[in-house]
Amino acid sequence: MNTSGAPVVGRILNIQHFCVDDGPGIRTTVFLKGCPLRCVWCHNPESHVASDEIMYRADRCVGCGACASACPNGAHTFDVEGKHLFDRLLCTKCGKCTKACLVEALETVGESKTVDEVLSDVLSDRVFYETSNGGVTISGGEPTAQPAFTESFLTACKQEGLHTCVETCGWCKPENILALAPLVDLFLLDWKLTDDTLHKQYTGVSNTLIVENLARLCEIGARVILRCPLIPDINLTEDHLDGIAALANRFSSIEQIDLEPYHPMGIGKTNALGKVAAYTNDTFLESDRAEEAKAFIEKKVSIPVTVSGK
**Cα 145 from chain centroid?**
12
Q: Are residues 209 and 272 in the same domain?
A: yes
Q: How far is CA 14 from CA 35, 197, 216, in A?
A: 14, 32, 30
Residue 221 resides in a domain: yes
Residue 2 resides in a domain: no
Phi, psi of 149 (to 5 degrees): -65, -45
Work out whether strand 186-190 and strand 163-168 pair parallel, antiparallel, or are unpaired. parallel
Domain boundary among 74, 92, 109: 109
Q: How many domains does the chain have?
A: 2
Q: Are residues 259 and 127 in the same domain?
A: yes
Residue 1 resides in a domain: no
Question: In terms of Cα–Cα distance, which of 41, 102, 97 is closest to 278?
Answer: 41
Domain boundary among 70, 93, 109: 109
pLDDT at 3: 56
Please give the Cα distance from 22 to 24 (Å, whole number).
7
Q: Are residues 45 and 93 in the same domain?
A: no
Residue 40 resides in a domain: yes
Residue 121 resides in a domain: yes
pLDDT at 5: 72
Q: Are residues 180 and 67 in the same domain?
A: no
Which amino acid belongs to residue 10? G
What is the residue range of 85's domain?
53-109
Residue 3 resides in a domain: no
pLDDT at 309: 77
pLDDT at 6: 84
Q: Are residues 117 and 230 in the same domain?
A: yes
Residues in Cβ contact with 172 at an 8 Å cutoff, skipping those fewer than 6 apart: 36, 142, 144, 145, 209, 213
Q: Are residues 295 and 277 in the same domain?
A: yes
Q: Are residues 142 and 272 in the same domain?
A: yes
pLDDT at 254: 97
Q: Are residues 99 and 115 in the same domain?
A: no
Q: Are residues 184 and 270 in the same domain?
A: yes
Domain boundary among 109, 143, 176: 109
Q: Are residues 26 and 43 in the same domain?
A: yes
Q: Are residues 78 and 227 in the same domain?
A: no
| Interval 81-136: pLDDT, tens | 899 999 999 999 999 999 999 999 999 999 999 999 999 999 999 999 999 999 99
Cβ contact 38:48 at 8 Å:
yes
CATH of the domain at 92: 3.30.70.20
Residue 244 resides in a domain: yes
pLDDT at 4: 60
Q: Which residue ranges of the chain lie beneath pLDDT 50? A: none
Three-state SS string across the chain, please? CCCCCCCCEEEEEEEEEEECCCCCCCEEEEEECCCCCCCCCCCCHHHCCCCCEEEECHHHCCCCCHHHHHCCCCCEEECCCCCEEECCCCCCCCCHHHHHCCCCCEEEECEEEEHHHHHHHHHCCHHHHHHHCCEEEEECCCHHHCHHHHHHHHHHHHHCCCEEEEEECCCCCHHHHHHHHHHCCEEEEECCCCCHHHHHHHHCCCCHHHHHHHHHHHHCCCCEEEEEEECCCCCCCHHHHHHHHHHHHHCCCEEEEEEEECCCHHHHHHHHCCCCCCCCCCCCCCHHHHHHHHHHHHCCCCCCEEECCC
Q: Are residues 116 and 247 in the same domain?
A: yes
CATH of the domain at 37: 3.20.20.70
Please give the Cα distance from 199 to 204 (Å, whole number).
7
Please give the Cα distance from 37 to 44 (Å, whole number).
12
Residue 30 resides in a domain: yes
pLDDT at 187: 98
